[in-house]
A and B are shown apart, each in its own frame.
Chain A
Amino acid sequence: MSIFSSLGRIVLSFLYDLYEIGGFVLSSVNTLLFRFTAGRRAISSIIYKQIYFTGIEAFPIISWIAIILGIIIVTQAMSILPMLGGEGLIGEILVWIVIRELGPVFAAIIVIARSGTAIASELGSMQVGNEVTLLEAMGIEPDRYLVTPRVIGTAISVFVLTFYFEVITILGGYLLAGFGKRITLGVYISSVLETMGFADIIASLLKSVVFGLIIGAVSAMHGMRVRRSITEIPQQTTKAVISSLFLVFVVDGIITAVFFM
């Protein structure tokens, strides 16, 4: 087989994945906005469970990682900036690094590790156990009942976790690493707020929502691809993680380019 045909197959497979992921995202948003009557209670109940698992249960680990990251960034900034006479740049550094990039990306990575894997393996197990076929047999559309609430619940969770991560990183970083240094808390906060523009906030929030939709859809897609063999579950779970990470970084680059280039 020539290298071109192999390459062609990889590209086609990637495009097909994108098509399917896009389909899951659009169908989930469509269900939420326009077709939320049938099965509303059953779907809502899964959305709440997904938000609890992906969002609320992730707060402790998000808090720890945000505080540690805040300490690292503030320590580095506080040690380098005074030497360059640029103490006032602390706000720019935090906004550029935490708000624009690390907040959404770190929240997404944590959610992929915790919930993306859980979604893919849970749906995979349901496929192997004939539960998905049974739902169809009961007149319940698996995409509506299983995929939509997971995609929507993950998107809401990543959105909230990103905002929380950014606040804790900035505040926690200063309180633990910057307190008592030459920059006061007031200067520190006002420096961040003055630097933060509308585009920074919108880009950060947009990234978080899109990342959440991607993680939910990619994980659900790989989970639903499991057929009859239990050995497919870890394979699809691994693919869900890799694909989610890849797409999150690609979309991060695209949104950054659109907003800041």
Chain B
Amino acid sequence: MEWETVIGLEVHAQLRTVSKIFSGAATRYGAEPNTQACAVDLALPGVLPVMNIEAARMAVKFGLAIGARLNRHSVFARKNYFYPDLPKGYQISQYELPVVAEGFLTIDMNGEEKVIGITRAHLEEDAGKSLHEDFHGMSGIDLNRAGTPLLEIVSEPDMRSPEEAVAYLKRLHELVRYLGICDGNMQEGSFRCDANVSVRPKGQEEFGTRAELKNINSFRFVEKAIRYEIERQIDVIEGGGKVVQETRLYDSAKDLTRSMRSKEEAMDYRYFPDPDLPPLVLSEEFIEQVRTTLPELPDDKRARFIEEYKLSAYDAGVLTASREMADYFEDTAKATGDAKQAANWISGDLSAFLNRDNLEIQDSPVNSAMLAGLLARIQDKTISGKIAKEVFEAMWNGEGDADAVIDKKGLKQITDSGAIEKIVDEVLAASAAQVEQYRGGKETVFGYFVGQVMKASKGKANPAQVNELLKKKLKG
């Protein structure tokens, strides 16, 4: 039988607010345990939450970016359960009325566009962390993360393959970083993903029973976990069994998913509106004000790059992978006036170096001004494209800007025709046989002369002048 996969993703994106969603404590990652937890985060008796409006601003920004309906009136609710890293014994979240309602995101699957629905995105607070090592049979609790704002983004079950799921997740990741609302750091848990996966016979209307996969916190694991889960479910059904609704944990070391809890064991969270917080009311002015802070979105930017800089769809895609990358490109292109050249260098040499050293564009040792400086020296023929690669590597290694490197290493192109002529003459004098061949009609030998001249000039002779002079002399 042919099977169809149905996937929906739930993403928790930590919002990049300076302080927590309901307290004034800092949200910085990596501080000493419990140094960023105030009385409110510790849930001391008597404390009360106060909404950080910056978190709402970021949620609205996201909603506007995905063309969503915004609830003018959304409600905070308490999700009640006991856990040591949940200090109040409940998590403040949004339940019936989330701030962001239906929206969508478009993914590109091998040139074909597909729209993925987003059911909702709601604000909530993160829990703390339980630490189980180094406590001699006890557990440690770190509440630094408790109260960090999260935007939980729930997709429709619109994805039909692990590839689509990853494409969606990457688009979402790109978007929240573009919007500046989440740093997207998956290792530090700033961008976390759960997947709901089910299978059904191809052509069947209704959904199969789904499993929720947890602990899939990299793009690669999302793909592998879903792939494993699809096979597992098909095996269960084809073996005459039934898929049960449950939560499953992905084990990346063993590359398999294993049951965590079944539907019967699912907790009753006893949601109810939080009486400590009034509804979040969005005025039209507030929404419009947020709209003015929206950056150009990835899709629009891609289209503009193709149109304005005459880039290929592929180059436009590479250069808009992040807002920083796009800014880097535009800064470079504007400084040099040659977008194609800038695009080639950024998607070529620069990207290769970034990948090699595992760096993000914003951490590149060669900034856009330095790259533009280098490209300008190609344009004004101070150096050749080949020498430029050498200069680039030197800049990457911290040896200064292009002019300093060219100067220090004496890489300046030789454009003095007298000097070039001298080398050409020497080469021709030493290559009587080849000159004979050339003059006898074997024009392919021409490349040999060029190579010899460049070699003699240590690559610094201006290739155009070399060509011209060689032709003139060989004619004679």
Same assembly: no
Name A residues whose Cβ lies closer than 8 Å to a Cβ of B: none
Name B residues whose Cβ lies closer than 8 Å to a Cβ of A: none
